[in-house]
Amino acid sequence: MAAGHGNTPAAWTAVSVAMLGFVVGSVALLQVPTQRTLLWIGIIIAVVAFPLYLVLAKLGFATSEH
C-alpha cells in the first residue's frame, strides 16, 4: 500500500458522508414502526458519498501532501 493511502481530504469527506448516511439509516431502522422516509434519506446520503469522492478527486483533493 502506498504511503498516505486514503489520507486525503476527498477520502475523509466521502467516508464521513457515508458514515452519516449509515447513522441516519440505522436510526430509522430503530424506530417502531420503521421510518421508511428517513431510511431512504440515509440510503441516498450514503450513495452520494461515492460521486462526491469522484468530484473532489477531479478537483485535486485526492492527493496527500506531507
Q: Is residue 1 part of a domain?
A: no
Domain count across the chain: 1
Give the structural domain span for 42: 9-58
Q: Is residue 4 part of a domain?
A: no
| Dihedral, 12, 54, 44, 9 alpha carbons, nearest 10 | 10
Mean pLDDT, the chain, rounded, equals: 91
Q: Give percent above pLDDT 70 in the chain.
A: 88
**The predicted structure's pLDDT at residue 4:** 60
Residue 66: pLDDT band by 50, 70, 90 thresholds?
A: very low
Q: Is residue 3 part of a domain?
A: no
Q: Is residue 25 part of a domain?
A: yes
What's the CA gap between 57 and 60, in Å, rounded? 5
pTM: 0.86
Q: How many of the other CB atoms lie within 10 Å of CB of 56?
A: 18
Q: Is residue 64 part of a domain?
A: no
